[in-house]
């Protein structure tokens, strides 16, 4: 009996929902093999990522292991490197040793997501903290806490103001949510004597970049 191999490359919202559909309809069949390849072994609810950065939520509140959701779909934690459409093979690297992994497919679904668009603004790519992953949120929160603590010890007004100036490049949904979370979240309230100064800038404006 020939096995139909379905590979889903990408474990974000699109990839997960496709995998959930196959998990209910096809993956339990003996003649169908469904594989989900994801950079992480969990799904991250990115719309609430800023609340982790603000200290309002714990990381575990917005992640869910993929294997807990998918009962019949094979989950592989790896980075997709190449796609050979002629040979019908997806090349990946996974594991601590970054071993090479190849997955043959009859049907391929690409749901690899996107990368942050910096709109060609000088310095932003080099100095800014993005808000795409759990490590980004942790980095931003730890950096903010360190700066707030430093500012609480600083006596010189000019230096204190410099430490408390945060610039958000991008005034869309994500930018506004990050600013609101930072100014009213647990991270800011932990230092009540500190006055945060935050600026939301649309992509068309030249940003003020603070090393972070």
Q: Which residues are tagged catalytic?
A: 177
How many CA within 13 A on the CB side of residue 188? 17
Whole-Å CA distances, 108 to 2, 4, 22, 39, 51: 17, 11, 13, 17, 35
Whole-Å CA distances, 102 to 34, 66, 88: 14, 21, 10
Residue 107 pairs in a beta bridge with 6
Residue partners of 27: CB distance under 8 A and separation at least 6: 33, 34, 70, 72, 73
Q: What angle do CA 176, 181, 183 make, to 5 degrees?
A: 95
DSSP 125-136: HHH----SSHHH
């Amino acid at each position: 009996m020939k096995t139909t191999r379905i590979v889903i490359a990408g474990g974000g919202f699109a990839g997960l929902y496709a995998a959930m559909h196959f998990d209910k309809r096809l993956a339990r069949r003996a003649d169908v093999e469904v594989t989900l390849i994801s950079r992480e072994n969990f799904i991250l609810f990115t719309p609430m990522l800023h609340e982790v950065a603000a200290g309002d939520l714990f990381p575990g509140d917005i992640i869910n292991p993929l294997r807990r959701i998918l009962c019949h779909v094979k989950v592989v934690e790896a980075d997709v490197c190449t796609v050979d459409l002629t040979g019908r093979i997806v090349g990946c690297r996974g594991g601590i040793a970054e071993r090479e992994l190849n997955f043959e497919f009859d049907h391929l679904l690409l749901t690899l997501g996107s990368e942050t668009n910096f709109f060609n603004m000088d310095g932003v790519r080099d100095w800014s903290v993005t808000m795409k992953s759990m490590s980004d949120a942790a980095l931003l929160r730890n950096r903010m806490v360190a700066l707030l603590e430093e500012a609480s010890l600083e006596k010189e007004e000019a230096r204190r103001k410099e430490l408390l100036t945060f610039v958000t490049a991008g005034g869309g949904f994500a930018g506004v949510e990050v600013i609101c979370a930072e100014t009213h979240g647990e991270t800011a309230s932990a230092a009540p004597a500190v006055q945060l100064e935050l600026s939301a800038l649309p992509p068309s404006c030249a940003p003020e970049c603070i090393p972070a």
